A and B are shown apart, each in its own frame.
Chain A
Amino acid sequence: MDFTPHTPADVERMLASMGLGSCADLFSHLPEAVMLHRPLDLPGPLAEAEVMKHLEALAGRNRADLICFAGGGIYDHYLPPVVRALTMRPEFVTSYTPYQSEVSQGVLQALFEYQSMVAAITGLPVANASLYDGATAALEAANLAVGATGRRALWVSRGLAPQARRVLATFAKARGLELVEHALADGRTAWDSSAAPEPAVVMFAQPNYLGIVEDYDAAVGLARSTGALAAASVDPMLLGVLRSPGAAGCDIAFGEGQPLGSPLSFGGPGLGIMATSAALMRRIPGRLVGRTHDELGRIGYTLTLRTREQDIRREKASSNICTNEGLNALAAAVHLAWLGPDGLAETGRQSVQRAHYLAERLGPARGVRLAVGAPFAREFPLLLPADPRRVIRAMAARGYLAGIDLSADYPELPKALLVAVTEQRTREELDGYAAALAEAVADA
């Protein structure tokens, strides 16, 4: 294929107008030593139909048909067709970051509305226009807290997603930050108030990675008493049924926003959510859209508080982020508006109800038991009598993606499987899962 419009006559005319003889002349000023004097050793070119056939074949080699009981931040919620219909509009898809506000009002207003709805669900007054994903949002929250407090220790619950803790560890090492992990006891964070050094941030997930509902007051109280910021990672689909981090007194809410508007997508693109208290407005990383007016007095939207950003502040910027996840933020805005307050609450309520229905069916009679006794929301860890990897394989043969193997990330819970339930899982699927798991455990 060829996406350039030039005919040979066009090329000849353009070159001739500049006194050049061939396209090779365009590069004649490059040093000889760097020139690649051979054709690239690559497959293609393919005709469009061949490209489609090839990628369809690759897509077909994934078991994306399995009924999904895996979560861990990425959830299989119902995605209404209206989200795709609106987010595939080429005016949104093929525009750049809205630097020229006069011709970018569509994207800017959509992001302003996204910020407003993130503020609504997190209960905090300031939300940015998106970050990359839940794990890098944890990193940005940590950086924000380090900048705001001048301290270098991060107190992190072991209930924060292991992927987020690994991303924090990757960057903490380079920046000389100290990660202090606080263990779980029966599934909930057992905060150690005597830990050292003094924290910049007390960071946890609500619910945590194991699906357990954490005690907000314990975490926020610890942050207050130690002079740290309280940062909660949220599951956005549960914010219609759980107290918001803002209502609970947190300074920062962040998290993986994939459940709002984005398909599973093998984990990317997702959406990094971040909201903060008013006091942190001038420190929040990433783009912010603000409302203003034009010279004729009409309402308009523009990127604002730009002096926080890398293209202005360079090495003193609050983050290096430039391109973010704009289209996923738009999808989240459409999805949240489609759900409204009642739809969000009902999605959360049904996910919780169905998860508890399944948990009751997964007793010792099936050869498994709940790994912890603390109250969970829509996800829970199961202890298996066999290697989770074998059970997951046996479940796939029965048509289910059984969950996430916890054994590597939580060796203290040997042979544990993390099971997630959304409002999409029907009674038939839940009953089928319970029956299949009993067989799979026996097989494995």
Chain B
Amino acid sequence: MPEPGGRASAAPLVGGGTEPTLAALSSPGRRAWSLPALDVPARVVELPEAADGLPALPEVSERDLVAHFTRLAHRNFAVDLGAYPLGSCTMKYNPKVADWAAERPGFTRLHPATPAAFSQGALRVLLEAERFLCELTGMARATFQPPAGAAGELTGLLIMRAHHAARGNPRTRVIIPDSAHGTNPASVALAGYEVVPVPSNPRGMVDLAALRRLVDTDVAGLMLTNPNTLGLFEEDICEIARVVHEAGGLVYYDGANLNAILGVARPGDMGFDIVHSNLHKTFATPHGGGGPGSGPVAVVAALARYLPGPLPAEQADGSLGWEMPEASIGQVHRHHGNFLVVVRALAYMLALGGEGLRRVAERSVLNARYLASLIAAEYDIPFPEPCMHEFVASATRLKRETGLRAADVAKALLDRGFHAPTMYFPLIVDEALMVEPTETESPETLEALAGALLAIAKEARDDPAAAHAHPRETPVARLDDASAARRPILTWFTEGP
């Protein structure tokens, strides 16, 4: 059997210690920059509001600058180093061909004010990617303006509001499950709606009876992730959608977990009206340490008139132009969203095609189910239904028997060369560890990851003190978050203790 590959590390190759800031490396008069000399006659320009000094930026050589950021890179874990089973984040392998595509000068050097006649390739990228998203989700049209998932949620909710307002009453409330991502309620509030939580039933699904009691003609709609944040497929989804539709509401699909159902089932066929997807999750664009992402929103035909615009459209002469949907909610991004992220996603989708995308769903579910089965001896999964692409395990038993909490398991995993799962989410599971291995990990890696999780449990029983002391192999040990928040040091201009 093949080996699972080397143990990943975020520790510096040599030296260890801390890395000084650029401010500490700075020396007056040192510089990296160069510019051609001014080749037009210098003139006196009386600028109002002229600066009366130079900004306090560091002064470093290019050599020191490169060494500094390279050393910082060595202090960071990443998908390219090893398994990153961070639940709900879909940290799959990011194909390099997609990065290559996004670096074409024909894309990177294109100014957004370039008229449509001279940016036909860019408009075609948006249309081709839109076709993929609409077929995968069962929707009619899509916008790529939202630059991240939360922006997609807000856009979808504004479309929901516009739909109801056009019928004379924007309505007041939006229902979300108690297991929802924090962005859902935050987006609902920003869209001017009141959040109404619907509880989960003992099987981890939306409590249909409770939903029926909550739905009335003040409810603008329901936001749902399916599979839900417990990694379970909502078995009553068609009935859920019917209940909301019957009261005139709309059903919104949060695409955080779309990976599990690509080519298997489509939100549109389940009764969803609005879908956002995260290109930086499902469609393998890199997360960049926290962005840039892309959160396109797709809608059923009846809602296409409300989409943000302009949208690319075929003209009579066969060329592409921009058109504003007739009842558009307006603009939600400065230009056309995170275009280069869309280029990456298109490269990925073209490479896989329909059959490859369905294989993504199958193998992401296969990997999650397999990993869950390997750790069942020590970690309970509180719900009986088979999981989809991720599962939520609970460290409650371990905590009761050994005192080791979910956070301790996560920190111990870092020492064993893996990134930690998502901890303490969703909020409805005690000591939650949300694990999403993704389809790009091999069975050998999953077995090594399971072996690490079981070894952590064993250490908790054999040597509890050691089990609580992790991590020790990382660039820093556990940090004092409390003092960071009590007396914030947010820049190098603030003196530290």
> Do A268 and B333 have beta carbons less than 8 Å apart?
yes
What 0/1 readout, one digit per residue, does chain A (401-416) give for beta carbons within 8 Å of chain B? 1011100000000000
A127-B476 contact in complex given A95-B287, A321-B150, A340-B33, C-beta closer than 8 Å: no
Question: Contact at B362–A23, with CB atoms within 8 Å?
Answer: yes
Check if B168 is an interface residue, CB within 8 A of chain A: no
Q: Which residue of the partner chain A has the closest CB to B25?
A: A337
Can you name 11 A-B pairs with beta carbons within 8 Å?
Answer: A4-B363, A10-B442, A95-B79, A116-B21, A163-B335, A174-B157, A268-B335, A269-B338, A295-B480, A302-B481, A343-B35
Whether A317 pairs with B182 at a CB distance below 8 angstroms is: yes
Task: Verify if A64 is at the interface (C-beta below 8 Å from B).
Answer: yes
Cβ-defined contact, B57 with A341, below 8 A: yes
- Closest partner residue, chain B, to A24 (CB atom): B362
In A35-50, the 8 Å CB interface with B consists of: 35-36, 39-46, 48, 50
Closest CB in chain A relative to B416 CB, distance in Å: 12
Distance in Å: Cβ of A424 to nearest Cβ of chain B: 9
The stretch of B208-216, B231-239, B244-252, B398-406 that contacts the partner chain: B231-239
B356 touches A45 (CB 8 A): yes
Residue of B nearest to A1 (CB): B351
Task: Enumerate chain B residues within 8 angstroms of A29, measured Cβ to Cβ.
Answer: 233, 235, 385-386
Q: Decide if A184 is an interface residue (CB 8 Å cutoff).
A: no
Assess the A320–B183 pair: CB atoms within 8 A: yes
Would you call A51 and B492 a contact (CB within 8 A)?
no
A186 on the B face (CB < 8 A): no
A44 touching B289, Cβ below 8 Å: no
In the complex, the chain A residue whose C-beta lies closest to that of B161 is A174
Segment 383-439 of A: residues with Cβ below 8 Å from B:
389, 392-393, 396, 401, 403-405, 423, 426-427, 430
Contact with B along A113-137 (1 / 0, CB 8 A): 1011101110101110110111110
- Hey, what's the 0/1 contact readout for A129-171 against B, CB within 8 Å counting as 1? 1101111100000010000000000000000010110110111
Contact with B along A329-367 (1 / 0, CB 8 A): 010001011111111111100101110110000000000
Question: Assuming the A-B contacts A281-B490, A288-B490, A322-B148, are A46 and B70 also in contact, with contact meaning beta carbons closer than 8 angstroms in the complex?
Answer: no
| B21 contacts A112, C-beta separation under 8 Å | yes
A side interface size, CB within 8 A:
209
Whether A100 is near chain B, meaning CB under 8 Å from some CB there, is yes
A185 within 8 A of B: no
> For residue A320, which residue of chain B has the nearest CB?
B186
Inter-subunit contact B265/A30 (CB<8 Å): yes
- Distance between Cα atoms of A123 and B140 in the complex (Å): 47
A59 touches B107 (CB 8 A): yes
Contact of A337 among B42, B65, B149, B349 (CB under 8 A): B65
B317 contacts chain A at the CB level, 8 A cutoff: no
Do A176 and B365 form a contact, CB below 8 Å, given A95-B77, A102-B474, A299-B18? Answer: no
The residue on A at minimum CB distance from B52 is A243
Is A295 a contact partner of B477 (Cβ separation < 8 A)? yes
Contact A94 B80 (CB under 8 A): yes
What 0/1 readout, one digit per residue, does chain A (1-32) give for beta carbons within 8 Å of chain B?
11111100011011101100001001101110
Q: How far is the CB of A301 from chain B (nearest CB, A)?
A: 8
CB-based contact A112/B491 at 8 Å: yes
Q: How far is the CA of A163 from the CA of B332 in the complex (A)?
A: 9
A107: which B residues are within 8 A, CB to CB?
72, 76, 289-290
A224 near B: Cβ within 8 Å? Answer: no
